[in-house]
Structure 1
Amino acid sequence: MDAEFDAYVETYADQHSKSIRLSGESPEYFADYKIRELARLARLWGMERPDILDFGSGMGNSLPAFRKYFPGNPVTAADVSAASLEAAVEIHGGEEAQLVIADRIIPVRSGRFDLVFTACVFHHIPEEEHVDWLADIRRVTRRGGRLVIFEHNPFNPLTQHAVRNCPFDENAVLITPRQMRARLRRAGWEQPKTDFHVFFPGALAKLRPLEAYLRWCGIGGQYACYGVAPE
């Protein structure tokens, strides 16, 4: 898999901000909400100090939120782009995170992680490789561990607009929640489920407490699909 994001390291932040300007929020807002939701799920699953893998970590945009919601927890950042991993250290520090280059496989021992997080990564990976990568993620996850995948919801028109206008999403192929659950099952994950997120733009931020009651509603701008590694 080519490290196409090597070419976007210098301009990533600016292009990302421009592509989501209709949301009225910054990239930091979206990184924070995802890790906040991941922490909620971890508590729900009884995980007090999980060993975490951030698969497709890119330039480390999630590192500040990991420090905020999982203070002191071990985090491994894996990405195909060596340039992005180097930028993560330069921008965010990242001294507490182990950095690994995931080219064809994730180069860590089997059964290591309690919790795997990946955000808006799979729509950049060729579809024919999805099941293989999901299976390798399962390999490095302990029995009973969890995977949480955040992806753009192709049924949301504002999400479609953001993807169309983002240069590094030029080759993106959005994945429906149903397709993602099916691929999780094919890769050996159990009990795949979906929650939906991002219903209100910044101008309607006062309504966001309602989003906790709308996770069932399939029109959210993004969704989280999660599964359990078999015992």
Structure 2
Amino acid sequence: MRETAAFDACATTYDAALNRGISISGESKEYFVRRRIEWLSYRLRQQGYRPGRVLDYGCGTGGSARALLEHLAVVSVTGVDVSSESIDIARSQYAQGNVQFSTLDEWQPAGQYDLAYCNGVFHHIEPALRDRAVASISRALSAGGYFAFWENNPWNPGTRLVMRRIPFDRDAKMLSASNARRLLEGAGFEIISTDFLFVFPRALAALRPLESTLTGVPAGAQYMVLCRRA
């Protein structure tokens, strides 16, 4: 697959390239990882849902695993990715008893997870193949399991600027929140909520407390569609 070769080639420079791209926000990769998972935790608490086993689909070099463990207080995290080079890095940096990593070729979805988390992955998947990817995630979830689908908001000019600054994002095919919802509903998921996050850069951090009141406005740099498998 083209995506496999591309991400194998940039695995060792992935984090540095990402941080260079998002530096115009005044924040690092770690800030966005933490805030995404904090928001997801908030939404899951509203649902009265406490997942035990988490799938990080498209985990890259594994940088979300620790935050998923800490902020969701889950039992285990399994990260999967098309890039074997990225998985090797993830294993060397983050693997432990309750955190494991696997290539997609090695991994078998079998209803073993309570929650799937996916960030910024589907804009790298060819549109014709997205249904297959969502179906695979659905098969990996237990009945009633949740899927947190995070993507970059194509209507945010700052997002587009950041992606132009990142070599592996320049040719990405972005998808809107409405397209994401259609994709997920087509796979049988029930949509719970759609939230837009990351409105204010660090220079306007004093305004960030307002973001929780703006999640329904498609202005944030990213959005999360939270949905549930029937």
Give the TM-score band, short-chain normalised. Answer: over 0.9
2:54, 2:74 within 8 Å by CA — same for their partners in 1? no
CA contact (8 A) 1:101 1:107 kept: no
Partner secondary structure for residue 41 of structure 1? helix
- CA–CA separation in structure 2 for the residues paired with 1:57 and 1:89: 11
Q: Could you tell me which residue of structure 1 aligns to residue 49 of structure 2?
A: 47
TM-score scaled by length of structure 1: 0.93
Deviates more, 1:187-196 or 1:171-180: 187-196
How far apart are the structure 2 equivalents of 1:147 and 1:167? Answer: 28
CA distance in 2 between partners of 1:71 and 1:139 (Å): 23
Counterpart Cα distance in 2 of 1:208 and 1:155: 20
Deviations 1:82-126 (A, max 9, x none): 1111101223344421222114x95132x2111110000000111
Residue equivalent to 2:108: 107
Taking the aligned partners of 2:45 and 2:192, their CA distance within structure 1 comes to 18
SS of residue paired to 2:12: coil
Taking structure 2 as the reference length, the TM-score comes to 0.93
| Counterpart in the other structure of 1:88 | 90
Q: Residue 221 of structure 1 corresponds to which residue in structure 2?
A: 221
Distance in structure 2 (CA, Å) of the matches to 1:8 and 1:95? 27
Match of 1:148 in 2: 148
Instruction: Provide the residue aligned with 1:68 in structure 2.
Output: 70
User: For 1:151-183, what per-residue CA distance to the aligned partner results, in whole angstroms no more than 9, with x for missing partners?
Assistant: 000000000000111101132111111111111
Normalized per residue, the structure richer in helix is 2
Q: What stretches of structure 2 of length at least 5 have no aligned partner?
A: none
Amino acid at match of 1:118: C
- What is the rounded CA distance, in whole Å, between the counterparts of 1:190 and 1:80 in structure 2? 27
Structure 1, unaligned stretches of length 5 or more?
none
Contact 1:180/1:225 (8 A) holds in 2:
yes
- 1:133 corresponds to which residue? 133
Q: Once the 2 structures are TM-superposed, how far is the Cα of residue 56 of structure 1 from its aligned partner? A: 0.3
Query: Structure 1's 67 and 228: CA in aligned 2 closer, same or farther, altered over 3 A?
Result: closer
CA contact (8 A) 1:194 1:224 kept: yes
Q: Deviations over 1:61-87 (max 9, x none)?
A: 112212321335211111111111110
Aligned-partner residue type, residue 70 of structure 2: K
Output the aligned Cα RMSD. Answer: 1.6
Task: State, as a whole percentage, how many aligned pairs show the same letter.
Answer: 35
1:210 counterpart residue number: 210
Contact 1:181–1:192 (CA<8 Å) still a contact in 2?
Answer: no
Deviation readout 1:193-212 (Å, 9 max, x if unpaired): 31100011011112111111
- Kindly indicate whether residue 180 of structure 2 is the aligned counterpart of residue 180 of structure 1: yes
Partners of 2:212 and 2:183 lie apart in 1 by 26
Aligned to 2:7: 5
Whole-Å separation in 2 of the counterparts to 1:164 and 1:48: 37
**Distance in 2, Cα, partners of 1:155 & 1:72:** 33
Deviation >6 Å, runs of 4+: none
Once residues 36 and 30 of structure 1 are traced to their aligned partners in structure 2, the CA distance between those partners, rounded to angstroms, is 10
Please tell me whether residue 166 in structure 1 is matched to residue 166 in structure 2.
yes
8 Å contact 2:164–2:170 — kept in the other structure?
A: yes
